Structure 1
């Protein structure tokens, strides 16, 4: 579970995130939407512990910056950042050793095969396309068997087959009881996946709806997104 309580982040006098409250339950896929400048990126940086902030962020009951939280939290950024001189497989080995994961080899090979990277496992990071780098980043995040996973624009740069596989993984993570958060600009890309939609504008959550609530009101996510974010 991810719990955000009274999150506020200011840059000098500019309020980027204003008293944000979010809860993503176990086995739930939440999609974080919002126009440019809504505060999504700042919120993500706060969740990952990259920024100082006011308020509280907890991952399965642990403070997000604690070692306990980091062991069960995975973040897949929009722009992958691989080590140029490590091979694909060495990236997974590095993650396994950093997180002190034992018996990881079977899981690592399974992930590489799922994302069509097995035949490229000896390629260096600098030799990979952006799409392949993104695949490696996803594999590294999933290797630790996280309980909370945050994806930032995960579909960008992926080929159709990889997108299909990633969607399957979203649902598999949900079935395993993980809390999954997907930040994206592309509403259509996650239309059939989400359980809860969180729409940000001007640093605040201006709408929170479950899929069932939208169905009951006969609303479409795309229509309501523009309704609450456009002046």
Structure 2
């Protein structure tokens, strides 16, 4: 039986006269990867920031493991990895982990830190300064930093933009590793082929609304298209019908 770890209900976020997020509802199950996709301005990043508490919602409910998202304990269960990783240029890879351990008041973290860096093939970069890392390595370091406090849900914004094919492969493998460990990932992305091949479910947004949600097979059935129809074709069909 699926274990619901996040429930968003009738979420609204307005900027003056614009509904950036217009009464959307969806849920995430434990141990799944979900793509949040849609055109620019669809409300994807605003949705994620409302869930994280970085933006104040106008109305609606956000419940994480049975508790309101404003709860202090809940915030420790979440991790946010923005499109541009927050890496300090003059800190080493190891010093980034140490800094995060201090932020979360975690003692005896060194052994776990080495295991995390080994898992993501960064142990040999332990003493490398942040400014010398490639974008792919910075993305992986962001994940490693997030793992120090053992969050349950990762919110990741456009993680693959600007990466070379090798870095894309490595980062997707990293996401699969997190899933195998029972972590839940909500990935905001425009890269539909990645969403189709990596994610268990897809949520399509446009103009602040959820237009479609489900597995690729469920979306094909809803659109009444063939089993060979790509997510790109489904996406264009869904978003073009809603003007």
TM-score scaled to structure 1, two decimals?
0.89
More off after superposition, 13-22 vs 96-105: 96-105
Partner of 1:191: helix, strand, or coil? helix
Aligned-pair CA distance for 1:222: 1.6
- Provide the rounded CA distance (Å) in 1 between the counterparts of 2:220 and 2:54: 37
State the TM-score, normalizing by the size of structure 2: 0.85
| Residue of structure 2 in register with 1:224 after alignment | 234
Aligned mates of 1:130, 1:103 — CA distance in 2? 29
Residue 17 of structure 1, CA deviation = 0.5
Residue 72, structure 1, aligned to residue 82, structure 2: no
1:37 equivalent in alignment to 2:38? no
Count of matched residue positions in the alignment of Structure 1 and Structure 2: 231
Aligned partners of 2:120 and 2:140 also within 8 Å: yes
Partner secondary structure for residue 34 of structure 2: strand
Residues in 2 aligned to 1:36 and 1:197: alpha-carbon distance in whole angstroms = 16
Deviations 1:80-124 (A, max 9, x none): 122233221111111122223344323322332344432322233
Cα gap change, 1:42 to 1:108, in 2 (>3 Å): same
**CA–CA distance in structure 2, aligned partners of residues 164 and 130 of structure 1:** 13
Two-structure CA RMSD over aligned residues (Å): 2.1
Quick one: structure 1 residues 159 and 140, their matched pair in 2 at CA, closer, same or farther if it must change by over 3 Å? farther
Structural mapping, 1:184-195, within 5 Å: 184-195=189-200
SS in 1 for 2:27: strand
Q: Any unmatched runs of 5+ in structure 1?
A: none
Q: CA deviation at 1:45?
A: 1.5
Cα gap change, 1:154 to 1:41, in 2 (>3 Å): same
Q: Over residues 149-189 of structure 1, what are the superposed CA-to-partner deviations in whole Å (9 max), with x where a residue is unaligned?
A: 11111122444344323323323332333221111000112
Superposed counterparts of 1:93-104, under 5 Å:
93-104=98-109
Please identify, of 9-18 and 207-216, the stretch whose mean Cα deviation from structure 2 is larger. Answer: 207-216
**Alpha carbons of 1:161 and 1:144: their partners in 2 closer, same or farther (altered >3 Å)?**
farther
2:64 maps to what in 1? Answer: 59
**Aligned partner of 1:146 among 129, 132, 151:** 151
Work out the CA distance in 1 between the residues paired with 2:131 and 2:230. 42
1:57, 1:64 within 8 Å by CA — same for their partners in 2?
yes
Counterpart of 1:155 in 2: which secondary structure? Answer: coil
Q: Which residue of 2 aligns with 1:164?
A: 169
Superposed displacement of residue 24, structure 1? 0.6
| Match of residue 11, structure 1, among 2, 12, 15 | 15
Contact 2:36 2:205 (C-alpha < 8 Å) held by counterparts: yes
